[in-house]
Structure 1
Amino acid sequence: MKFHQLRRKKRSQAATEENDDQATSSLQQRLRLQVIHPGKYVPWGGSTASSLENPGQQQSWELKRMNSQSNTFDSQKEPGRDEGAPSQSAEKYNDPMLNVMWREVQAERHVSALIDFKLEQDRKAWATSNYKLTTLEGKRDSELIRLLFVYAGEAFEDERITSDQWEEMKPNTPYYSLPILSKCGKQWGNEGAIVRVLARRFLLMGASNDEHLVVEATYERLRRVKRQNERAINWVLTGEKNKERQEWAQSQLLHVILPAAMKEWEQLITQTRGPFVVASGVTMADLAIMDFLDQCSSCMLIDSLFSEHLAVADLYSVVRQCPKIVNYLDERSND
């Protein structure tokens, strides 16, 4: 008796396993069709074991082959709409999922077109507008920036303001200092940074990395000389009214500051066989040296120093005699 019960139990288990294998095989076949034969998208609605056992029952997730004639894109442009602009009600496909994807692609194209249009507008505005240089009245450190524009033949607006005007606009300026370079509504500050950027843009940094380093070092050392001797240089260039201060400042400039600087420049120019700091031609460093010596010579006599440093004198005369610079210096002689 027990033997027959055990036998019937094994047969029942075998039948159940066979039904499970058939259901699994049917599921695998449907999944294989889903991968190989993509069809119309339908939302997932879940499934049960009983439904899988019935191959005739249509499942919500089962794929359906699309009609090949209805899966074509309507290439005709919709009247009254821009090309690339997505339509909320347009149905290009019979498949809802493809319509959603199509609208997303069209939206991305529309945004990309707007970005390209804006960039093109900015590029045209940047190409047609000029730089504006805002400084205090006079020459001083900002003069080198003007010389870079003049030597490169780049048009710019030279805005010179008074001290009272500067106090009013100071809170809205970068770094709260002058000079300020602006273009297309953007502003940049720091005299050293402006000089370097313009020199690179106008190709006035030398023809190689070695020359670039020499030009950078020469300009930076000149800036350091100005910082270390700021009081004496300011008293000479601004015309200090106190006679004792004026005499002391001129003595410092004539016997200490300029001789040391010109000796260093003489060595650089001699190494390149002149008449410039580097062999490739005029650079930012040459313009900086010429500008500093020109401002000093306008306030005091330095001919004796030129006679002792002939290479520096040649650099000064060659750069200053450039036609563009000559015209500009003649115009600014009244400053």
Structure 2
Amino acid sequence: MSSQVKIKYFNTRGRAELSRMLMSYGGQTFEDSRVEFADWGQHKDSTPIGSMPVITLENGNEYSQGTAIARYFASKYDLLGKSDEERLHADMVVDTIRSDMWPEFVKVVMASDAAQKEQLKKEAREKWNFWLGKLEAKFVRGTDTFLASGFSWADVALFNVVNDIFPLADMTSLDTSVTPKLNSIVEMVRKEPKIAAWVAKRPVTIM
């Protein structure tokens, strides 16, 4: 039986980082177990469904799927939203980020040809800006938060993708003239003390 929560993932920020941020926000002590890509074959068969991240709870039970794990901690720390509609709102934002925006990043990372990589970066930025514009126009309902009720996991998910993923496609910041409300959300999360402390101490990785 595990004595503390353990999150296991590659030695990157990637799909585990949202959960790491949420656990840090919630004051959760956790073991940050990291697997080198070269060693993945030794671990794959022992994971719940053959993928990472994997969360091991205090009772020893293990679960996979990065967004499901993040949603678990968002629920634990009351960050899903205060009503059914707010939970739908936050889930929509998170799904836009992790189901729509993330695959464009994966295409960039997987490209081996330099010219193709540059073209994919350009396409990713165009698509990201489209989705960001939609979120900016209709779905920022609070003061520096997506939800009218305040801080939620959707805010952290936006910070995660803007801070950790966008720079890998040469998009180092949001255009404040186009998405000022989203930029305010990002800066609010950046200054949140417990999340800022995690970002400051986490291992330095390329992604």
- The TM-score normalised by the length of structure 1 is 0.56
Contact 1:277 1:286 in 2 (8 A): yes
For 2:154, the equivalent position in structure 1 comes to 285
For 1:245, the equivalent position in structure 2 comes to 116
* Residue 206 (structure 1) shift: 1.1
The 5 A counterparts of 1:92-131 are 129-131=3-5
The DSSP-based 3-state class of the residue aligned with 1:207 is coil
Decide which of 250, 257, 274 is 2:143's aligned counterpart: 274
For 2:95, the equivalent position in structure 1 comes to 220
2: CA distance, partners of 1:166 / 1:275: 39
Where in structure 2 are there 5+ consecutive unaligned residues?
none
Contact 1:259 1:305 in 2 (8 A): no
* Residue 233 (structure 1) shift: 4.4
After superposition, what is the alpha-carbon deviation per residue over 1:116-135, rounded to whole angstroms, capped at 9, x for unaligned?
A: xxxxxxxxx88xx3200000
Decide which of 83, 101, 110 is 1:208's aligned counterpart: 83
2: CA distance, partners of 1:157 / 1:333: 13
2: CA distance, partners of 1:226 / 1:137: 21
The 5 A counterparts of 1:1-335 are 129-183=3-57, 184-226=59-101, 228-229=103-104, 231-234=106-109, 242-254=113-125, 256-270=126-140, 272-299=141-168, 300-303=170-173, 305-332=175-202, 334-335=204-205
* Residue 196 (structure 1) shift: 1.4
Which moved further from structure 2: 215-224 or 226-235?
Answer: 226-235
Aligned-residue CA RMSD in angstroms? 2.2
2: CA distance, partners of 1:304 / 1:276: 16
After superposition, what is the alpha-carbon deviation per residue over 1:122-177, rounded to whole angstroms, capped at 9, x for unaligned?
A: xxx88xx3200000111111111101101111111100011343211221220111
- The TM-score normalised by the length of structure 2 is 0.87
* Residue 325 (structure 1) shift: 1.4
Larger RCO, structures 1/2 (Cα 8 Å, 6+ apart): 2
The amino acid that maps onto 2:65 is: N
Whichever of the two has the greater Rg, that structure is 1
2: CA distance, partners of 1:276 / 1:268: 12
